[in-house]
Structure 1
Amino acid sequence: MGIKKAIFLTVAGLFAIALSQFPEFQQQYKQRLGGTLDELNRQVAALDIRASDAGMERYDYIRHFLDNSDMVIQSEGQNLSNMLGRRVSVQKAIDEMDNARAHELLFTMLLRLDTATAQATLENYRPAIPVTVSGFVHALFGFVVGYLLIGYVSLLVPRRRVQSSWSGQDN
């Protein structure tokens, strides 16, 4: 096997290994999002109880905060509103990942990526051996991307003819 082919296969193999880990990363990321959603649901349930105790519906309760002239109370209303928006966003991200096919999952996740959750997932990530169809699909995709990338890079590198010092022939 020539050195060029070995380099191509090595780079492609490394990309395959890296992308084969995506399903495991996605699973750990989704578990963290699920925990976030569970906590947001608990907070919204507590908000609903507070609103009910005040004789109001959830959105009327929040509007009461937002319409207040006291900036501290307005800020609390904005925080409550942001919490509801985050809950919707996290739920939508989970739903879309649940409904994505193996070949769509990477792009689906990237479209709704929660960077703070992804960073926390990456910091605590534990690799796994991919034994699923999704792992195989991502490994194959990684191999193809790596192979094409190294091919593209090799086209950009100027070719030089190297004179062998011992044979006097070109390699």
Structure 2
Amino acid sequence: MSRIVRIVAFGCGLCGGIIASQGPEYAQQYRQRLGGAIDELRQVITRFEADAQASGETRESAIVRLRSNTDDFVSRQGAAMQANVERLRNLEIHRETMMQAGPFARVALMARDGDRDVMEAVYRDF
């Protein structure tokens, strides 16, 4: 029985060591990609807002107009833009929370509240 406990303890210690050594670096790369995702979404939304303004609309009214369109494709574009706006807001809040946390708290925040798309991209390159 004590041999099994030692094996489990060794495995847990090994996992803890890996997380302690690689977690902060992974979180750093995650934050960098998070910033890139935020910058890209801002550009998409800024272009959309400029198009909406040129048509005499606000961002919100343009999204409503698109979403209420009977053409399924156009309606889906409105839903996609609404999702972009919401994702940008969530990513900005998440990044601000991470910037205020310490290195190991960032790992926990990333694991708990992280953006899955960004985390998968970091994992592929890590």
Is TM more than 0.5 here?
yes
Give the Cα separation in 1 of the matches to 2:12 and 2:82.
47
Cα shift at 1:18 = 3.4
User: Secondary structure of the equivalent of 2:103?
Assistant: coil
Q: Larger helix proportion, structure 1 or 2?
A: 2
Query: Is 1:110 equivalent to 2:111 in the alignment?
Result: yes
Runs of 4+ off more than 6 Å: none
Which residue of 2 is the match for residue 45 of structure 1? 46
Letter of the structure 1 residue corresponding to residue 91 of structure 2 = V
Q: Which has the higher contact order (CA 8 A, sep 6+)?
A: 1
* Larger Rg over CA atoms: 1
Which residue of 2 is the match for residue 153 of structure 1? none
Gaps of 5+ in 1: 126-171
Give the Cα separation in 1 of the matches to 2:103 and 2:96.
14
Give the Cα separation in 2 of the matches to 1:10 and 1:75.
48
Gaps of 5+ in 2: none
Which residue of 2 is the match for residue 93 of structure 1? 94
Give the Cα separation in 2 of the matches to 1:25 and 1:55.
44
Percent identity among equivalent residues? 25
Deviations 1:33-79 (A, max 9, x none): 11111000000110110011001111011111111122121111101
Cα shift at 1:86 = 1.0
Give the Cα separation in 2 of the matches to 1:92 and 1:120.
20
The number of aligned residues is 122
* CA-atom RMSD in angstroms: 2.2
Cα shift at 1:16 = 1.4
Change (3 A) 1:14 1:76: closer
TM-score for both structures, normalised by structure 1: 0.64
TM-score for both structures, normalised by structure 2: 0.84
